[in-house]
Each structure stands twice: as C-alpha cells, then as structure tokens.
Structure 1
Amino acid sequence: MGQLIAAYRHHPHHGVPISQETVGHWVNMSQGQISKIETRRPELHIARLAFWARLLGIPAHLLWFDLPITNGRDAASRTAPTATDRHTPIFPDGLASPPASTYGEDAAHDQEPSVRHRTENHARLGTPQTSARCALAPSQLPASNGGPVEEGDDLRRRALLATLITVVASPFSHVAATANPPANARVLAARVRRVRSAYQHSSYGQALQELPSILSDLANPALDKPVDRLAAEAYQVASGLLLKSDQPTLAAVAAERSIVAAQAHGSPIIIASSMRAVVHGLMAAGHFIQAANLASTAATQMMRDVGTPSDDEAAVYGALLLRGAVAAAHAEDRARAGVLLDEASATAERVGGGDGNANWTAFGPANVLAHRVAVAVELGDAGAAVDVASTINLRELAAPERRAVVLLDTARALTQWGKYERALDAIQAAERHAPEEVRSRRPAHSLINTLAQRAPAPVQRRARDYSCSIGIDS
C-alpha cells in the first residue's frame, strides 16, 4: 500500500507530484508518518488497507485483500454490562448500561477478517499506534464493552479533524444580517441541534463529519440575523471538539468566533454560553486562575443583564460556576472552588425539576455532584471523591458524555486511592455510556496505561487486554 501511495502521488494525471505533506494534511498526519508508510514493510491490517484504498479510489476488484464486511448488531448488545462490571458497583444503579439514546447513532461496526494476501513474503506487523501485544487477531482479544474497534476509525477521525481544522483556520469575517431569512435557515438550525446532540452523546466522529459543512453554510452572506446565534452555538461545539482532539490553539480561535457571533446576536444567555467555551480554552492552556475569574465574571454579568433569570439562564449561570470551580481546583484554590460549588448547588435547587439539559448545559443537582467529584480529585481528596460519586445516580445526568466523565473522574480517584480493579471497572462503565470519550481521548488512554503499568499483575493483564480491545497501545 505504501508503494501505491507513492505511485498515486507521482501519477502524471496530477501534472506535478503531490507532496507527502499534502497527503499528510488529508489525513492529519505528518510528512514523516507518510514517508514511513511508503518505505516500511508492507501494511497487513485490513482496516488501514481499506482506508487507504478508499482514499486513493482503488476499485475493489484490483485489491489483494477482502474488504471488511458489515456486522449489524444493535446498540443494546454493544452496551450490555459484563459480570465483571456488576461485581463492584460504585453508583446506586450499579453502573447499569445506559438508557436508550435519543441520538440516532449508527450501531453497525465493521468486522476485521484476516488479510488474504496473495504473496507469502510479508511478516505480521502491528499498526503504528499499537504494540506487538495488540497485533493479535480480533478473535484472540477480549471484546470491549462498546463493541469491536475498527482500526480505520482513527485514520477516519484524523481526516475529519483535518477538515474541521481547515475551516476554523480559514479567514473569518462576521456576516451582516439581511432583512428576510432564507428558506434554509430552519434546516441549518436543525443541523446545529443535531451536531450538539452528537457531541453530548460522545458521537465525536459524527459531529466532526457534519460540523465543517455547517460552519461553511453559516458563512453564507444571504443568511439572516438568526444565523448569529447558530454560529455562536456551532463554534461552541467546534471549540469543544478541538479541545477533545488536543488542538487548544484552534479551540481558542473557535471560542473567539463564538463570542463574536454571540455579541452580534446580543442575547446575554448566548454570550454567557460562549464564554463557557472561552473558559474551557483557558483551562486547556493552563491559565486556571484567569479561567476561574472569567467564569465568575461572566456568570455575574449575565445575571446582572437578565435581572430575574429564567430556568435556561439559571442553568447557564450554574454551568459557568461549575466550570469556574474546576478551574479554581486546578489552581489549588480550595476555598474558592467550594464557594462556587455551593452557589451552583443552590442554583440547581432553585431551578428545580432535577437534571435537564437547558441550553445544552445538562445542569442540575446530579451534575453539581459530578463536578464535586472532579474538584475533589483535582485537589487530591480521593476518598471524598469516591464518597460523593457513590451518591450519584447516573441516570439523572442528561448527557452520556457527562456520565462518562464522572465515571472517569471516579476512576482517577480510585487509582489515587490504590483501588485499581474498581478503577478499571469504572473506565469500562464509562465506555459503555460514551465509547468515544474513552476510545479517542488522551486522558482516558493515560489512565488505562497507568493501570497497565502500576496495578497488581492480574489487573495489569486486564488493563492491557482491555486497552488492546479498544485499540489503545499500553
């Protein structure tokens, strides 16, 4: 396949050869990585071969391997808890499998048959991301709780991320409103809602796939003033996706564009919502004191602007306080974190009605408790974090992403506490609720690798087997 990539780059059809840098940009790889693919020993992993075949447009009848076949299993079979998960419950619902999703995520996964090579002089290799330990055939690996991992998923995610990066990095100018809304404004609003739902359901690949075209369409000068709110919301999602993809600088650009659009719209609640993205960006850059200050200031300003807040406005206010509390904990300001958590808790009680998803905040009493766990872990209070986590009913959290995050925070606390087996149980439970939050996020990978290296030998083996089953090198 490396030889084919090189041949494609130098094909006379292009006029001049395509550089390795250009091909790398297509799939979010470096020039060095493309060079290694072209010069190293032949690739044998079916998903990678299939990915490159699709990218290069190679007809199936010219391939020297069988393309993956689809195994359409339903989502319930992918998310059913295992006996191991049930044996050490952490939360009141015993880490039960997630309730039915409201987001239409495709449950079909590709199987990975062994490569049918027509030559016999190639040795078995692992992928660039996996070690020899993970080079076993899928049938030799334990199944992950979220279903089998397609090894091409990582390359596909890179390609989608590269598209989003291209859009966000492009020059941006705010578009003046026109008097009459175009017919497609309502469709755009529905698309923005869909991508926000995908994000909250940890369907990051789906969000990455849809968001670039939404951002491009929102730049259409024929659109009317309501596009400002849609643009603010869409760039909030873009900032979050870029942060989860370890692109903090571009996430800051997206957050700034969200603020520009929100200020053009003029609504205090939209401005405050966009400020949440800015706070996240400051935290990702390590500016924790500034992040805490901004969260508090933005929350106070919104309440001053709205007077008596609606439930939606109170939810955004509370969400800003929660983010400020976590930032204060990162800055080791225990007192300030406690004050912000208490104010958020009081706000959640005033709103009433339990945890909802007002203005996409998932704000409510259970989410306040989830942030208490995060703050306790960050301050090194592992026992307190686990105690608080034991009082949370995950089903009260509206967003699967939030359920996974609190489970991962609990796993961090259990690891600090030396309860390694229970920590691994919590990670596996997090994957059941939001598979991509575990499979594609560096903090989760680091936590799993810590267990694979520091835990007692039986847990190390479990962690390594599990990491291989979800495509992580431990």
Structure 2
Amino acid sequence: MAMTFGRRVAYWRERRRITQTDLGALLGKSRRWVQAVEAGERQADPQISVVEAVARALTIPVELLLGDNPPPRGVDDVEFAAIRAALDRHDVITGTAGAGAAPLPVATLHRRLIHARSAFQSGKFGSLGGLVPSLLVETNAAAALHDGDEQLRAYGLLATVMDLVEAAAVKYGAHDVALVAGHRAVTAAERSEDTVVIAAACRHLADAMTGQGQPRAAAEFAVASAARLETDLRARGGDGLSVLGMLYLKAAMAQAGAGAGTDLLAATAARAVPDLLDQADEHAAELGHDANHHWTAFGPTNVAVHRVTAHTHLSEGAAAVSVAADITPDARAGLPRERRAHHLVDLARAHAQAGDRAAAVDVLLDAEGESEEEVQCRPKSVRLVEELRLLGVGSSAEGRLRLLARRCGLPG
C-alpha cells in the first residue's frame, strides 16, 4: 500500500529523532500544522515548495517523500550513505587534515563518542547516521593535528569510532564497510599505544572477517591477538580482562560459523567452540561480575549469551534453548538493550530450530520490545521472520507473526 505524504513526513521525522514542535520551528510553522500534515488533514496533495522545505528540514531527498513504495527500514540509504561517504573521504583514508584546520579537544570528542556508543547499545541504530560521520571526520583530524599524549588519545578515539562503524555495518549486513572499518580501527589502535584499545579493535576486526566469509582466519586472528596482548591486558584490570574475554568470544563465534559449513574442516571448527567459550568464561570469572568495560558488556552473562548463539550457528536449537533457560531474568536485564534484543533474536531462532515456531514468534516480539530496530531493521532478523512465515507457525501465532512481518516491511 502506498504511503501518504503525511505518513512519510511522520516516518522520516521519527527516523531523524525530531519532534513535531522542532520540525514546525524548522519550517516556520506550528506544531499543530505538522500534526495536521501527518494526519492527512493538510497538504494531502502537497505543494512542491512544501515538499522541498520538509525534505531540507529532514535532510532527505525529495523523492523519499513522494515515492509509492514503503520507506526502507533500518539505517536508510541516506544515513548509511553518509557513513560510507565519511569513510571514503580523502582525509579519513589518508589520516590527514586540511591546511589551517583546528582540532577539537579530545575531551569534547570523547563525550560525543560516549553519546554515539550509548545510542548503539540502546538499540537506536538509526541515529548513528546523524552522529557517526562528523565524529569520524573530527577524530581523524584530531589524530592528525594533536601531538604528544593528546595525539595518542585521539588515535584511541579514532579507533573506537571505527569500531562503532564496524559494529553498525555488521548489524545491517554491510560487510564490505565492516571490513574496511575493522582494518582501519586496528591501524589507529596500534598508533594509540593503548593495549585495551588495540584488543578492542582486534575483536571487532575478527567479527568483520567472520561476516565477510573468513571465519577460520578470524578465529586465528582473535586467538593470536589474545596471546600477544594477554600480559599487558591483565595489568589493565576490568578493561583489560573484558576485551581479552571478548577476543575469545569472537574466536568462538568465528569457529561456530566455520563449523556450520559443509567442508571437511567444519567438524574440527565445531569441536573448537566449547574450549574457546570456556576460556572466555575463565576471564569472566576473574572479572567476577557482569560489567560494560570499554563497551563490551562482558561478564558471565554475556558468555552464556554467546553459548546460545554458538549453538544456533551449529543448528543445535534444543541445546541453545536449554542454555538460555539458565540465564536469569535479572542477569539478562543487566545487559545493554542491544545485547538483550540480539540474544532474544538468537533464542527465537533456537526455538524455530527446535520445532517450536510459535514460541519463536513470542520471543521475537519480546526482542522487538527491547529494540524495534534489532528486529524490524536488521536483515538477519527479518530473514527469520520471513522463514517463519514460509514454514508456518500455527493458528495461535499466525496473527502476531503477520503483524510483525508488516512492521518489518515484508510484503503481503
């Protein structure tokens, strides 16, 4: 069904996190005027000057307000294009800055980075298109123009911004972008001379390599990074133990991905998974509690969550459901919203693998309650919704699945 102009205005206003009052102010109109437009009571057949003004205020092309097709879900073309464009800038590629440019203070950039990372962990992925491009450019300039300790810290921030680009790209299946950002993160991290930042960048690169179809190389890289950095990481307390543990979790996920293959080495890769998870568990036990050091959400609960994921990669749905049952609601609630939603999507797949597709629908709805974007926007999640529609979920869950599919933008 084609969307009206008013519904498109409402969609893009919400995607841009702009209130009706603020949009009205940008247009020189009242909040009531915006309400009337979105409700179809005004500008149902809009004047081109109005369309152009709204498009400028929402920073989108005019055609996105006039097309017949539903708008895209997730990081839309405009937002993701902005991230790609920033990554492809000459100064960002070369690590240089324009003549006469003045770098922002590292402390200012650090505050902005916290805001962007918090948005990601809150499951608000769409906001990254408005936050990440300028942060990427400005941390790059800071690394190029500062000197001494400030330059080292700036390289650390640049690496962490690249990590965020990688993580967002993996969410939306843009594995080419993830791999580029992962490699650049490692390069910047090494220049920061900060072992925690280096380990964090290595774990993100391992994740990108797995997504790009290089799971065995990813596992080897993550384990080698852990071995190289372990002594220094242990001296860094919670931050160090957390990124060290995450390296083993990423190695386990890579081997689980390889173990799902059909070649002669798949069984060997699958057998390696439990030992890697146990190694991560040892570091979680050393840490002693669930935490979020250096944006890892690492601890005993996150290791258990990754055990569930590993079982689903290996199509061991019943085992995954069993492991998930031992994660208490309080423990799960202590994870960041993004991690909770991600886990629930994996658990939904586990239920589907175990033959309980009605339960899979209910768990997907729980995941949607944690983060709409994790379910409605992520290709991996939408594929699961489509698979459930094709397989059938029984009459008790059919209506709920149909509505969920509609929210995911699936036809029919």
Scaled to the shorter chain, the TM-score interval is: 0.7 to 0.9
Tell me what 1:25 maps to: none
Tell me what 1:209 maps to: 130
Tell me what 2:205 maps to: 278
Query: C-alpha displacement at 1:47, in angstroms?
Result: 3.2
> How far does the alpha carbon of each residue in 1:204-225 deviate from its partner, in whole angstroms, 9 at most, with x for none?
1122211101111123243341
Cα pair 2:172 2:378 within 8 Å, conserved: yes
Query: C-alpha displacement at 1:469, in angstroms?
Result: 3.6
Residues 110-125 of structure 1 aligned to structure 2 (within 5 Å) = 113=40, 117=44
Name the amino acid aligned to 2:328. Answer: N
Q: Using a 3 Å threshold, how does the CA distance of structure 1 residues 160 and 267 change in structure 2: closer, same or farther?
A: same
Which of 317, 326, 348 aligns to 2:244? It is 317
Which of 205, 209, 216 aligns to 1:289? It is 216
Q: Using a 3 Å threshold, how does the CA distance of structure 1 residues 51 and 390 change in structure 2: closer, same or farther?
A: closer
Tell me what 2:365 maps to: 428
Tell me what 1:443 maps to: 380
Cα pair 1:452 1:461 within 8 Å, conserved: no
Name the amino acid aligned to 1:466. Answer: L
Tell me what 1:351 maps to: 287
Determine what percentage of the aligned residue pairs are the same residue: 27
Cα pair 1:235 1:257 within 8 Å, conserved: yes
Tell me what 2:304 maps to: 369
Q: Which runs of 5+ in 1 are unaligned?
A: 1-40, 71-109, 120-124, 130-150
Query: C-alpha displacement at 1:281, in angstroms?
Result: 1.0
Which of 384, 408, 418 aligns to 2:319? It is 384
Cα pair 2:195 2:233 within 8 Å, conserved: yes
Residues 151-300 of structure 1 aligned to structure 2 (within 5 Å) = 154=73, 157-171=76-90, 172-174=93-95, 184-220=105-141, 221-223=144-146, 224-225=150-151, 226-300=153-227
Q: Using a 3 Å threshold, how does the CA distance of structure 1 residues 158 and 289 change in structure 2: closer, same or farther?
A: same
Query: C-alpha displacement at 1:154, in angstroms?
Result: 3.8
Q: Using a 3 Å threshold, how does the CA distance of structure 1 residues 316 and 118 change in structure 2: closer, same or farther?
A: closer
Q: Using a 3 Å threshold, how does the CA distance of structure 1 residues 346 and 379 change in structure 2: closer, same or farther?
A: same
Q: Using a 3 Å threshold, how does the CA distance of structure 1 residues 251 and 155 change in structure 2: closer, same or farther?
A: closer
Tell me what 2:342 maps to: 405
Tell me what 1:454 maps to: 391
Tell me what 1:69 maps to: 35
SS at 1:363 equivalent:
coil
SS at 1:331 equivalent:
helix
Tell me what 1:9 maps to: none
Tell me what 2:58 maps to: none
Is 2:406 the partner of 1:468?
Answer: yes
Name the amino acid aligned to 2:404. Answer: Y
Q: Using a 3 Å threshold, how does the CA distance of structure 1 residues 155 and 44 change in structure 2: closer, same or farther?
A: farther
SS at 2:76 equivalent:
helix
CA RMSD of aligned residues (A): 3.3
> How far does the alpha carbon of each residue in 1:250-299 deviate from its partner, in whole angstroms, 9 at most, with x for none?
22111121111111111121111001111111111111111111111111
Cα pair 1:51 1:155 within 8 Å, conserved: no
Q: Using a 3 Å threshold, how does the CA distance of structure 1 residues 296 and 167 change in structure 2: closer, same or farther?
A: same
Name the amino acid aligned to 1:416. Answer: Q
Cα pair 2:7 2:38 within 8 Å, conserved: no
Name the amino acid aligned to 1:212. Answer: P
Cα pair 1:43 1:49 within 8 Å, conserved: no
| Corresponding pairs, count | 359
Q: Using a 3 Å threshold, how does the CA distance of structure 1 residues 154 and 385 change in structure 2: closer, same or farther?
A: closer
Tell me what 1:415 maps to: 352
Task: Between the two structures, name the one with larger relative contact order (CA 8 Å, sep ≥ 6).
Answer: 1
Query: C-alpha displacement at 1:473, in angstroms?
Result: 3.3
Cα pair 1:318 1:363 within 8 Å, conserved: yes
SS at 1:219 equivalent:
helix
Cα pair 1:408 1:427 within 8 Å, conserved: yes
TM-score by length of 1: 0.69
2 CA distance for matches of 1:338 and 1:212?
A: 39
SS at 2:353 equivalent:
helix
TM-score by length of 2: 0.78
Q: Using a 3 Å threshold, how does the CA distance of structure 1 residues 320 and 275 change in structure 2: closer, same or farther?
A: same
Is 2:69 the partner of 1:128?
Answer: yes
Q: Which runs of 5+ in 2 are unaligned?
A: 17-22, 47-65, 260-268
Name the amino acid aligned to 1:185. Answer: V
Greater helix proportion = 2
